Amino acid sequence: MKSGLVSNVQAWIINLASLLVFLFFITPVTLIHSMNWLNPPLTSFMLSQKASNPQSSVQYEWKSWDEMSVSTPLAIIAAKDQHFSTRPGFDVNQLKHVLRTQPLDSSIHETSAISQQTAKNLFLWSDQIAWGGLESWLTFLLESSLDKQRILEIYLNIAEFSPGVYGIEAASQKFFYKPASKLSENESALLATILLAPRPYNSTTPSALFEQRQRWVMNEMKALDQVAFIHEFAEDGKNSTYVNLF
Instruction: Note the pLDDT tens digit of each residue in 128-166.
Output: 455 566 788 888 899 999 999 999 999 999 999 999 999
Q: Which of 94-98, 118-122, 170-174 has the lowest mean pLDDT?
A: 94-98
Give the Cβ contact number of residue 234 at 10 Å. Answer: 12
pLDDT score at 27:
73
Which CATH topology does 35-39+55-236 take?
A: Penicillin binding protein transpeptidase fold (1.10.3810)
Rounded CA separation 95/102 (Å) = 10
Residue 185: pLDDT over 50: yes
- Average pLDDT score over residue span 82-88: 78
pLDDT score at 76:
94
Q: How confident is the model at residue 72 (pLDDT cuts 50, 70, 90)?
A: very high
Residue 63: pLDDT over 90: yes
